[in-house]
Chain A
Amino acid sequence: MPHPVTDDPEYDLAVIGAGPAGLAGAVAAAELGLSVALLDASSQPGGQFYRHPAPALGATRPEALHHDWATFTALRRRLADSTATLLAGHHVWTVVRAEARDLWDVHAVTGADGDRDRPVRVRARAVLLATGAYERHLPFPGWTVPGVVGAGGAQAMLKSGLVLPGLRASPAGARPGAGARVVVAGSGPLLLAVAATLAAAGARVPAVVEASGYLGYARHPRTLAANPHKVAEAARHGAALLRHGVRLRTRSAVTRVHGSDRVEAVTVSRLDRDWRPVRGSGRRIACDALAVGFGLVPQLDLATGLGCATRRARDGSHLLDLDAQQETSVPGIWAAGETGGIGGVELALTEGELAGRAIAARLGGRAAAGGSGRGRALRRRRARMRAFAAVMAAVHAPGAGWSRWLDDTTDVCRCEEVGAGRIREAATAFGARDARTVKLLTRAGMGWCQGRMCGTAVACLAAEGREQGPPPAPERRPLAVPVRLDALAALTGTAASDPGEPEEHAAGEDSTGG
């Protein structure tokens, strides 16, 4: 029996995602007089960066696992003091144009995992997409062994659940949480933060393994000088790692995990400039868990479903193409934070505020306090931090040689258990040139996660050994989260409009940005 769709009242603005960008945007717009609904899948605001324990865990010092916690608590206070409505536990699965002109319908399923409760529709005059990012993964032999976890995932489980991966079952009364050995590996600035947080929480971190070098940053001295907070952040993490005796290995990668039912050790190999493992350089490191990730990828499912134009970043990922006001190519749909390029928390806060102010100006809210001076300062800060983000994407862009560490039996698609050999066969023997064709031939990317975990790897393998063809369009996922059939059935007639083709997809080629 389908539950009826619950209609919330109509809002000026629906903000999707209550991380730094969404919070800043919602607060700015609400303070300028707009009625705002802020939707987030989690039970609490904060997103991934400000993820924190549920109240029942009674954390008296949540700031101990966070940098700049005061920024979050100030935003949370302003949100509570504003007229904005926080809709927690709302998993938005699609946004469509309403029948009425100039209105948008935001459809969500509710509950802890979106599986049990009523479907909801929120109608608004404008939508701010602040859907953040998810972690980019590259497969390697043994990456499906229990105890191999996402670097961001390890941090998320620690920040919200106060647990570490790879603990051994301890006798009753033993102090839980301390002592697991966690190797941190992959590429990107998140690794240092994750390693520092894990070490601070009692994990032993035998090594941080970074596939790139840090020298790439040194080629952009002016961008570094303009972003002293980023340099300070890296220094802070570096100092924390030194204090905990953590060894940093650059130009190296975990090329094999040992253990069948749980992680027992990893092999770390040196990489050449293109990330090809150097023969004979493998060294075994004993550990209980591996936290691994290769940077972040913007989460664009809702945006591409709406037909918002995208462009390519220097690391190959797709970003939303935004104007100076943070508006997408679809009028009325705005975006802020990682969806426009992976830039970190300060950039997300800046873009969120800019978007909130611009939307208020468009929809006839009050004039922004601080007027154009504040706007100018925010735009300057955005330009400075976007320049740093571009350097970061280039420094940590996956090298083409990473696939040399795969063997044919390595599962690339975790959901459908499709090995690298079958994907290469689809590309070489059956002529698949892109992730979509590989998916149709092998089922890689067709499972539960809809290619979020394997998408980068499948696209790389499909393109291996070819002349550079047209770059692939971003993945389209008409349902951004799994939706039960009864939730769909409850929508008869409300969500049938065609979202249209995204510009990039329709054009069959990419704009040159990035």
Chain B
Amino acid sequence: MARDRSPAERVGAVPDPAFEITFDGRPLVALPGQSLAAALWAAGILAWRTTRVGGRPRGAFCGIGHCFDCLATVNGAPNRRACLVPARPGDAVTTQEGHGHAAPGDR
């Protein structure tokens, strides 16, 4: 069995054309049908939120919409579960700080 097969190769994926999304302004490639969390993982990104109390980084944990660790700000709307929301062309994902309701630029 080939050891270095990727998941997409393993299932013989012939996806629709890839598109671009951004994470904190940086362009990433996403595949149609992937969740935002999957697209971020594929780009090597594991954290897209900082916690309210300790300011610690978090990303996807349960992967099925139960734990809410993967909350992200998507196109300006905070508290979207990145593991459930499908990636769409041009989506702007930004690191959600705390509860996500701070004014833009307010640190």
Q: Which residues of A contact B (CB under 8 A)?
A: 41, 43, 48, 53-62, 64-65, 112-113, 115, 134-135, 144, 146-150, 152-158, 160-170, 175-179, 200-202, 204, 243-244, 261-262, 289, 414-417, 447-449, 452-453
Contacts of B5 in A (CB 8 A): 178, 200-202
Identify which of B1, B13, B43, B57 contacts A261 (C-beta below 8 A). B57
Assess the B10–A157 pair: CB atoms within 8 A.
no
**5 A-B pairs with the lowest CB-CB distances in the bound complex, closest first:** A161-B38, A153-B63, A177-B6, A54-B33, A169-B44
The smallest C-beta distance from A426 to any residue of chain B, in angstroms, reads 17
Residue in B47, B59, B66 whose Cβ sees the most chain A Cβ within 10 Å: B66
Name the residue among A58, A163, A177 with the largest chain B CB count within 10 angstroms: A163
- Give B65 Cβ to nearest chain A Cβ, in Å: 7
Q: Which residues of B contact A65 (CB under 8 A)?
A: 7, 10-11
Give Cα A160 to B33, complex, Å.
8
Binding site for A on B (CB under 8 A): 1, 3-16, 31-35, 37-39, 41-47, 51-54, 56-69, 71, 79-81, 83-86
Q: Check if B65 sits within 8 Å of A162, measured CB to CB.
A: no
Determine the chain A residues whose CB is within 8 A of the CB of B7 once the complex forms.
Answer: 65, 158, 162-164, 177, 201-202
A200 to chain B, nearest CB (A): 6
Residue of A nearest to B30 (CB): A161
Asked whether A146 lies within 8 Å of B57 as measured between CB atoms, the reply is yes
Contact B15 A57 (CB under 8 A): yes
A146-B59, A150-B61, A414-B67 are contacts. A202–B10 as well, Cβ < 8 Å?
Answer: yes
Asked if residues B47 and A55 are in contact (CB atoms below 8 Å), the reply is: no
CB contact under 8 A between A147 and B3, given known A61-B12, A153-B63, A161-B41: no
Q: Contact check, B63 vs A156: say whether CB atoms are below 8 A apart.
A: yes
Instruction: Pick 7 A–B contacts, CB within 8 A, sort by A.
Output: A55-B33, A57-B32, A57-B33, A113-B80, A167-B43, A261-B47, A261-B57
Q: Evaluate contact between B63 and A150: CB separation under 8 angstroms.
A: yes
Query: Chain B interface mostly helix, strand, loop or mixed?
Result: loop
Bound: A41/B81 CA distance, A? 13
A202-B85 in contact (CB<8A): no
Smallest CB gap from A243: residue in B: B1
Q: Is the CB of B63 within 8 A of A149?
A: yes
- Establish whether residues B6 and A202, one from each chain, have CB atoms under 8 Å apart when the complex forms: yes
Query: Nearest chain B CB to A185's CB is how many angstroms away?
Result: 14
On chain B, the residues within 8 Å of A169 by CB distance are 43-45
Query: Which residues on A sit within 8 Å (CB–CB) of B80?
Result: 113, 115
B14 to chain A minimum Cβ distance, whole angstroms, is 4
Q: How far is the CA of A164 from the CA of B41 in the complex (A)?
A: 7
Q: Is the CB of B44 within 8 A of A449?
A: no
- Are B63 and A415 touching (Cβ within 8 A)? no
B13, B41, B71, B83: residue with the most chain A Cβ atoms closer than 10 Å: B41
Assess whether A149 is in contact with B60, with CB atoms less than 8 Å apart.
yes
**Smallest CB gap from B68: residue in A:** A448
Cα distance, A449 to B8, chains bound together (Å) = 31
Question: Does the CB pair A177–B12 fall under 8 Å?
Answer: no
Which A residues are in CB contact (< 8 Å) with B11?
53, 59-62, 64-65, 162
Q: How far is the CA of A61 from the CA of B11 in the complex (A)?
A: 4
A59, closest chain B residue (CB): B11
Among candidates B10, B45, B51, B61, residue contacting A417 with C-beta atoms closer than 8 Å: B51
A43's nearest neighbour on chain B, judged by CB, is: B86
Interchain nearest-CB distance for B107 vs A (Å):
18
Q: Which residue of A lies closest to B71 (CB)?
A: A448
